[in-house]
Amino acid sequence: MNFDGRVSIQAPRDRVWAFLTDPAKVAGCAPGLDSLDVLEPGKKFRAKTSIGFGAVKVRFVNDVEWTELDPPRRAAMKAHGTAPGSAVDATTAMELSDGASGGTDLAWTADIRVVGTIASMAMRLMGGVTKTLTNAFFDRVREEIEKDN
């Protein structure tokens, strides 16, 4: 599944970058995040998440690694998650550019592949659930960054 989107945040690009590359700050915005452990500062972390697909709720253990950091313009990461009988692989990227009135425009992409029991049981729900979670995440990110203005 491929997803993408754009978000305008009324804050300077360096502040948006600092927030989005800080796992502790991002963790406070991620729906379903149970815990976050930094394994290698600025490089790798592990996130435990719980996600519901209709009546099915799954807990994933996700190993995440930055694959590109070009401050304050572009970042990319890859993730591999496991749950009983299932796995997820994801690659994501974000591009920051100067927006209107001193703000920042954020363009993001995500390519997500789910295999196993979850994929077969909840495939028709995944697109909608992922879109809902992504929108909630970026709404919260925008709110957290802009409250400091």
How many whole angstroms separate alpha carbon 57 and alpha carbon 28?
21
**Max avg pLDDT among 41-55, 64-78, 108-122, 131-145:** 64-78
Sheet of 74-83, strand order: 2-9, 104-116, 86-98, 74-83, 56-70, 44-53, 33-40
Q: Which residues contact 1 (CB under 8 A, 6 or more apart)?
A: 111, 112, 113, 114, 126, 127, 130
- Choose among 115, 65, 111, 51: nearest CA to 88: 115
Q: What is the pLDDT of residues 117-131, one digit of tens each?
A: 877 765 666 767 778
Give the predicted TM-score (pTM) of the model: 0.90
Q: Which CATH class is domain 2-146?
A: alpha beta
Q: Where are the domains of the chain?
A: 2-146
pLDDT digits (tens, 9 = 90+) for 52-91: 776 778 899 999 999 999 999 999 999 999 999 889 999 9
